[in-house]
Chains A and B, each alone.
Chain A
């Protein structure tokens, strides 16, 4: 057995003999142990220094050095590529961040509120501003005010009591005019169906700007109002006495043309008046009525302060004579 093993290590075995030996080793642990003992002894016997080692090692060392140099050049390029990638990612990030954080008007989400005819709505906005809206007014409020301004869009009439915030002006945008304030109480009348535009200031100061001609703007002081007259903004002194109306819902009018009162009704109740000359609508009248009443009761109440007759043609059209 041992003879065969040593012959194997001397390289003296034919393939057939080798096969036979391997069969025996694989099936016999003791033979395998002896194989391993001889193998490892031979290995150790070759671990001393030999002639020619130095030349061989020197030659292989040169090969390794070329490999190292090639790898370092490759590494240099890989590093350059890495830096380029980092710079590219940085640029993309800067671009994305600026896109995100440099404030520009995002597409805001709005809440739209439509006041039914004959009804009034009282609401408090997120900044504490209070608003009383007249019938058939429509207001669009962003779900979140921006950092720069608080703006709402109004089509109709609203009385605003604006919470002070000097860094974020409150802006009421109407079809034709923007009313910009810092903190104040004021009324806006701006139904898009009506040519009338009015802003009354109770407290603070407001700036009214024409949307189409920004250079046209008027600054109001308390107890001043601005109204549209022949397509021009006109400032006049008047005290806004409808504050109570806004809160109680009782509408007062004093020394107003009857036609003006009818105009209000037109807007608030979505009715059309077919006015005959006999109604003398240019007469001045004073009085009051409860806004939540239906149109017929109001008309009956108005008959007490002005002489006229009416006839309901249908739900939307009323003849005044």
Chain B
């Protein structure tokens, strides 16, 4: 029954371990629910497994996977709103938030994946941050700690942690300006 080769299996496995968490974090930003994000990404990998012969021919796995995830999230939203519109709750807060987030996702410029190594870009951006700010950002983004945990560890207030994070985001936003929309045209 298992007709796939060991190398096929190991390359798929490698890609999975590297990308699953990143893709889920990416998706979660837009579909809000972690569970939905995980399901979307898991479905993508199911699809990849069934088409694993094409994995070798990909020139940019990174861009391919993120673009696929972006599209699947948009599909997910459309499907969800189709189902929800048959019910009532159109005007509730969560729906409006989700709609806004999907708009942001549609504006997400996936060229960044073909032109830059996001990892390098982040490292460079972090280097330019003030000492304390960098420390906080590394704990948050690389160690994945919650703001409260960082506050406890560094013995500062949660509010201060938040300020550092906001500063870091502001700086990063400048670095990324080529990939962020200047204006929003009517969508």
Contacts and interface: CB of A to CB of B under 8 A. Distances in A.
Nearest to B2: A72
A22 B162 CA distance: 21
Contacts of A48: 22, 118-119, 122, 141-142
Contacts of B182: 33
A36 B141 contact: no
A35 B121 CA distance: 21
A120 B185 CA distance: 97
Nearest to B175: A41
Interface string A55-93: 011101101100110011100100000000000000000
Nearest to B166: A6
A43 B29 contact: yes
B63 interface: no
Contacts of A52: 144
A33 B45 contact: no
B162 A45 contact: no
B107 A42 contact: no
A29 B183 contact: yes
B42 A41 contact: no
Contact of A38 (B21, B169, B185): B169
A208 B90 CA distance: 94
Interface residues of B, number: 55
B142 A50 contact: yes
Contacts of A50: 21, 25, 141-144
A171 to B, nearest CB: 64
A45 B141 contact: yes
Contacts of B58: none
A107 interface: no
Contact of A46 (B2, B29, B96, B121): B29
B104 to A, nearest CB: 4
Nearest to B162: A10
Contacts of B13: 61
Contacts of B168: 45
Given A32-B103, A35-B100, A37-B180, A47 B26 contact: yes
B58 to A, nearest CB: 18
B172 interface: yes
B83 interface: no
Contacts of A63: 42
A42 B101 contact: no
B25 A56 contact: no
B173 interface: yes
A48 B21 CA distance: 9
Nearest to A73: B1
Interface string B166-187: 1011001100100111111110
B54 interface: no
Q: Which of A26, A54, A60 is most buried by chain B, counting CB atoms within 10 A of its CB?
A: A60
B170 to A, nearest CB: 8
A266 B179 CA distance: 113
Given A22-B93, A43-B25, A50-B143, 5 more contacts: A26-B96, A33-B182, A40-B176, A64-B16, A64-B45
27 contacts: A10-B166, A29-B186, A33-B183, A36-B104, A39-B29, A39-B101, A39-B104, A40-B180, A41-B176, A43-B25, A43-B29, A43-B30, A44-B112, A44-B179, A47-B119, A48-B22, A48-B119, A49-B21, A50-B142, A51-B144, A53-B20, A54-B17, A56-B20, A64-B45, A67-B42, A67-B46, A76-B1
Among all A-B residue pairs, the 9 with the closest Cβ atoms: A53-B21, A50-B144, A39-B104, A57-B20, A36-B104, A41-B173, A37-B180, A33-B184, A43-B29
